[in-house]
Amino acid sequence: MKKIIILSLISVFLTSYSCKFTQKAYDSTKTALNNANIFTPDDDIKLGLQVKEEIESDPKKFPILKESKNREIYKYIRGLKDIILKTNKLKYKDKFKWELKIIDNDTILNAFATPGGYIYIYTGLIKFLDTEDELLGVLGHEMAHADRRHSTRQLTKSVGISILLDAALGNKQSVEQIIGALINLQFSRSNESEADEYSVRYLCPTAYNAAGAAGFFKKMLDRPVPPVFLSTHPSPKNRVKHIEDLKTELNCQGTRTNKDKYSKMKRLLK
């Protein structure tokens, strides 16, 4: 099946070339290549589980906050995640895992989701944000990366077809290479823009401010040195405008921020 996908892409390219590569054919081919994904959704789940195991086997680099001593904050953050899932806007809502864990590191302002929906959020980011809608915006963004399958689409383009095919056939070295690539993966600007868009779309049907993610980027604009991971992303100022414009375009009516409740809950993190 995966070889058929590759051959289909080559066929699209050759067909476009034989038609003297018109602009329309070029655009069609470019879109097909950008959206190409040799992995299946089941592969996403398997890869995500392997990345999860790799992350959680390295407590020095990824110190997972102990759930037994932090049940209330885990329940709270997972409740916010469930608000997004209950909108039924995610294609793989019932297929992917959507398991959430907190990484105990106050110096890192980040969150990420593996293929298949394993979500990790740093205590540094939770403490940095001010309201529930901001955290919901960030969670929606990361969940969109998983649901839109950005990681495996990016891998299809960057790792190389031969390695992907070897991994699919069970080559251990190729599998390990892919896991390493996933852990250090940087999304394209178009992936980031799409994740911003879907963050708004996920929150739009709720009572919350659908432009919550814009709050995170506004706070980043006030920092003298932005995090390294933003250096390859679209500029925060442009992202704020894109997010707020889309909220207006979609006529999202929610205004809830729950600032007081959020302030109380994040104080649970010692």
The residue-averaged pLDDT of 148-163 equals: 82
Q: How many domains, in total, are found in the chain?
A: 2
Q: Are residues 137 and 8 in the same domain?
A: no
Q: How many CB atoms lie within 10 A of CB 181?
A: 15
Q: Are residues 82 and 20 in the same domain?
A: no
Q: Are residues 25 and 60 in the same domain?
A: no
Q: Are residues 120 and 7 in the same domain?
A: no
pLDDT > 70? residue 154: yes
Q: Which residues does residue 208 pair with via DSSP β-bridges, in sequence order?
A: 256
HSE-up of residue 48 (Cα within 13 Å, Cβ side): 30
pLDDT of residue 172: 73
> What's the sign of the alpha-carbon dihedral 181, 182, 185, 189?
positive
pLDDT > 50? residue 248: yes
What is the SS3 string spanning the chain? CHHHHHHHHHHHHHHHHHCCCCHHHHHHHHHHHHHCCCCCHHHHHHHHHHHHHHHHCCCCCCCECCHHHCHHHHHHHHHHHHHHHCCCCCCCCCCCCCEEEEECCCCCCCEEECCCCEEEEEHHHHHHCCCHHHHHHHHHHHHHHHHCCHHHHHHHHHCCHHHHHHHHCCCHHHHHHHHHHHHCCCCCHHHHHHHHHHHHHHHCCCCECCCHHHHHHHHHHCCCCCCHHHCCCCCHHHHHHHHHHHHHHCCCCCCECCHHHHHHHHCCCC
Query: What's the pLDDT band for 30 if we cut at 50, 70, 90?
Result: very low
- pTM recorded for the entire structure: 0.82
Q: How far apart are CA 188 and CA 31, in angstroms?
A: 14
- How does pLDDT run across 201-224, given as a tens digit for each residue? 999 999 999 999 999 999 988 776
Q: Are residues 121 and 173 in the same domain?
A: yes
Query: What's the pLDDT band for 22 if we cut at 50, 70, 90?
Result: low
pLDDT > 70? residue 241: yes
Q: Are residues 24 and 140 in the same domain?
A: no
251: left (phi > 0), else alpha (psi -120 to 50), else beta?
Answer: left
75-84, 86-95, 107-116, 159-168: the lowest-pLDDT one: 159-168
Q: Are residues 23 and 48 in the same domain?
A: no
pLDDT of residue 20: 45
Q: Are residues 29 and 101 in the same domain?
A: no
Q: Are residues 108 and 198 in the same domain?
A: yes
Q: Are residues 102 and 45 in the same domain?
A: yes
Round the average pLDDT of the chain to a whole number and report it.
Answer: 84
45-49, 162-166, 223-227: the lowest-pLDDT one: 223-227
Q: Are residues 31 and 112 in the same domain?
A: no
pLDDT of residue 13: 41
CB 124 within 8 A of CB 166: no
Domain range enclosing 28: 2-35
Q: Are residues 188 and 84 in the same domain?
A: yes
